[in-house]
Amino acid sequence: PRIYVCAKCGHELFSSRAKYEHSSPWPAFTETLRGDSVAKREERPGALKVTCGKCGNGLGHEFLNDGPKRGQSRF
């Protein structure tokens, strides 16, 4: 198992156990490692802007209800 960390500050973000294959070219995860791993704010309906929970570095988005199982999110 691997832990994915913020490229800017090294804060732990995601576990490889939550990683899955998705059609986008970016790594996809179903959940964060801990509750404080990331910060989120609504950008548009169904999508949250995600930043590192420690330093604020931009990490992309959380797409609500777009995970591999019904009701899961995709980071």
Closest Cα partner for 62 from 13, 2, 11? 13
Q: Which neighbouring-strand residues pair with 51?
A: 39, 58
Do 28 and 20 contact (CB within 8 A), yes or no?
yes
- Provide DSSP, 10-61: --EEEEGGGEE--SSSS-EESS-SSTTSEEEEEEETTEEEEEETTT--EEEE
Counting the structural domains of the chain, the total is 1
Q: Is residue 49 part of a domain?
A: yes
Q: Is residue 71 part of a domain?
A: no
Q: Is residue 69 part of a domain?
A: no
Q: Is residue 59 part of a domain?
A: yes
Domain that holds residue 43: 3-63
Residue 59 sits in a domain of what CATH number? 2.170.150.20
- Would you give per-residue pLDDT tens digits along the chain (75 residues)? 799 999 999 999 999 999 988 888 888 999 999 999 999 999 999 999 999 999 999 999 999 988 888 889 999
pLDDT at 37 (0 to 100):
97
Q: Which neighbouring-strand residues pair with 50?
A: 40, 60
